[in-house]
Structure 1
Amino acid sequence: MLGTFHITLLAALEPTRQTFEICYVDDGSVDGTRRQLSELASADQRVRYTSFSRNFGKEAAMLAGLRMSRGDAVVLMDADLQHPPELVPRMLELHRHGYDQVVAQRDRTGEGALRTALSRVYYRLVRRCMDVHVVDGAGDFRLLSRHAVNSVLSLPESNRFSKGIFSWIGFDTASFTYRNVQRAAGTSKWGGRNLLNYGIDGLLSFNSRPLRLAIHSGLWLFLSALVYALWIIANVALNGVDAPGYTTLMTAIVALSGIQLATLGVIGEYVGRIYHEAKRRPHYVVRETDTTRTSFPSGAPSATSVGQARSER
């Protein structure tokens, strides 16, 4: 897939007659991706790459690509051809009109009804809860000006949620919609569990409303308990002592226990993020770059995929 992507990207960039470089990030692949990247870099001085020591995730790969970039405009895109390279000239044209961010927003063509519905519900939720505006369908396929890139790189947090970061930095933004394209080969590793965790990361990264919700829930429970206690006192005063039933008691205990556990979980998520930030570990570990590449023996396996790709003007 990497070879096809590279040829397609060159076919899109070369007619623009702009000076460009192509920066690849290999997110710890275990196939022949690193070998093929080395061959591409040896054959074309415009190709650069960074290979991680293991899989550090999409956010780390995007950060590495931005750090590698040297151009006035940077286009973030995946190398599985779901981000069509032929849209890059259009993004460059909008950038020349003064936009610091140009977002290629995909539609929902080809997605299942359940995933589409859940995505829409999620984005409605984050628009209400998050301190930044995240648009449905606006992913990582976007152009950033050098000013925007420097702003993103100035943010030091380890728990990164790029969709929120891109919105947080602001700048003049243009967007257009393109038809969703299926992967050229292979299957996505982003299953339901990964998407759920990524969604939770997004909700927690840019707001403290879950903690505020815990406070509000506690106050409402206290007021409810106070009203219930007053009702019990009034009932005793008017009707005498009545033997209490266990149903109400058990329901109250289970409900309060569930709320307490959920609240502790929310607090634990925030404390865990503070702990992770306090360790100040690097976002990734580099195994090899185009300037430190090693020679490969003949007969090594060929590449089939690459984690992330970056194209700079």
Structure 2
Amino acid sequence: MQKLSYVIPCYRSEHTLAGVVREVTDTMRTMPQYDYEIVLVNDCSPDGTLGTIRSLVAADPHVQGVDLARNFGQHAALMAGFHQCTGDIIICLDDDGQTPADEVGKLLEKIQAGYDVVYASYDNKRQAGWRNFGSWVNSKMTEIMLGKPPELVVNSYFAARRFVMDEMIRYEHCYPYVIGLVLRTTKNICNVSVHHRAREEGRSGYTLGKLLGLWMNGFTSFSVKPLRIATYFGTLSAVAGFFYIIYIIISHFTRHTAPLGWASTTALLLLLGGIILIVLGLIGEYVGRIYMCANNAPQYVAREYLHHEEASR
């Protein structure tokens, strides 16, 4: 009998998490061919999420929890859950009820058909317009930076085989990016269409700033293409500057006067200075990450591991 491991990162889900776990439990009753476990990772949520996790762990032997010492972010919380799960197939979903746990059979069918990873694709995303735009930008950037196939949709609801997770948890650095880890492990990935629900309550914990930080994390942790792009920009600027110098020299001898263009010269200096600062900032981002990894900054820190036997005493 194969075992499924559900990994759910939890943040501000005090009132929604019980419903998600209940849906997983009800779904698994219709799939007796599988054993299962549910790993709930509290990403230092400021509300009563930890208390909800404790009660769920105490009530069901299939549920276990991990309490992180501070907020490390969704991807680090997922990695904490991956280290605890023991299933043959690992399924990741959200804690807000938007990802339909009752449609997990669609993902499992594709896994059984031979795929290594199966991502859900949503027929109609029920989220703010700027989040949809952010998802589109993220998709395009992962195509360019990480080599994601254009037709592949990636998000937080997916299923993966055990060997994929075993390879992913070998990554021990402090800036995990789950999509990058998946894409560097296997290309045998597909999509399956599921329904995307409206958020039951509250709002997404991802602000624009957090999304930008997540993108920067993914691109600088798993690709050197930003540095190559910076090199290309620098080369093009140098070539343009060289031809502009030639133009000035020719103009001087043919028109017997140097071009007046103070405004254009100032604009050019500002442009080149901006490019230089961007490149330096990008290099600094890479150097900073190397420094943090060299100092063994933790990927996550677990304050407590919650198990049914202990919680039910």
Tell me the TM-score normalized by structure 2.
Answer: 0.85
In 2: Cα distance, 1:94 partner to 1:218 partner: 45
For residues 224 and 281 of structure 1, what CA distance do their matches in structure 2 show?
Answer: 42
Q: How many equivalent residue pairs?
A: 296
1:292 Cα shift? 10
2:112 is aligned to: 96
Secondary structure of the structure 2 residue equivalent to 1:25:
strand
Three-state SS of the structure 2 residue aligned to 1:4 is helix
The alpha-carbon deviation at position 196 of structure 1 amounts to: 2.2
Q: How does 1:110-189 map to 2 (within 5 A)?
A: 110-133=126-149, 137-170=153-186, 172-189=188-205
SS in 2 for 1:105: strand
Tell me what 1:21 maps to: 37
RMSD: 2.5
Give the CA deviation at 1:145.
Answer: 1.2
Q: Which string of whole-angstrom CA distances, capped at 9 and with x for unpartnered residues, describes residues 71-111 of structure 1?
A: 11111111211111101233233323333222212244334
Which has the higher mean CA deviation after the structures are superposed, 127-136 or 89-98?
127-136
**Larger relative CO (CA 8 A, sep 6+): 1 or 2?**
1
Gap regions ≥5 residues in structure 2: 1-15
- Which deviates the most, 262-271 or 194-203? 194-203
Query: How far did 1:63 drift?
Result: 0.4
Matched residue SS, 2:95: coil
CA distance in 2 between partners of 1:43 and 1:224 (Å): 69
Q: Are the aligned partners of 2:42 and 2:49 in contact in 1 as well (CA < 8 Å)? A: yes
1:108–1:116 Cα contact (<8 Å) kept: no
Shift of 1:135: 5.8
Matched, 1:281 2:287: no
Q: 1:74 to 1:126 in 2, by over 3 A?
A: closer
CA shift, 1:169, in A, is 0.7
Q: Give the structure 1 partner of residue 245 of structure 2.
A: 229
- Of 47, 62, 67, the residue aligned with 1:31 is 47
Unaligned runs of 5+ in 1: 297-313
Amino acid at match of 2:209: R
* Equivalent residues of 1:126, 1:134 under 8 A apart: no
Which aligned pairs between 1:52-63 and structure 2 lie closer than 5 A? 52-63=68-79
Offset at 1:126? Answer: 3.2
| Percent of paired sites with the same residue | 27
CA contact (8 A) 2:38 2:64 kept: yes
Change (3 A) 1:222 1:13: same
2:25 counterpart residue number? 10
Judge conservation of contact 1:133–1:164 (CA < 8 Å) in 2. Answer: no
Conserved in 1, the CA contact under 8 Å of 2:42 and 2:66?
A: yes
**1:41 lines up with 2:61 in the alignment:** no
Which structure 2 residues correspond to residues 263-302 of structure 1 after superposition, within 5 A?
263-291=279-307
1: CA distance, partners of 2:181 / 2:261: 53
159-168 or 113-122, larger mean C-alpha shift: 113-122
Distance apart, 1:259 and its partner CA: 1.2
Structure 1 partner of 2:255:
239
> How far apart, CA to CA, are the structure 2 residues paired with 1:93 and 1:217?
46
Letter in structure 2 aligned against 1:83: T
Aligned equivalents of 1:201, 1:174: Cα separation in 2: 24
Distance 2:234 2:43 in 1: 44
Does the residue aligned with 2:71 lie in a helix, a strand or coil? Answer: coil
The residue aligned with 1:303 is none
Structure-1-length-normalised TM-score:
0.85
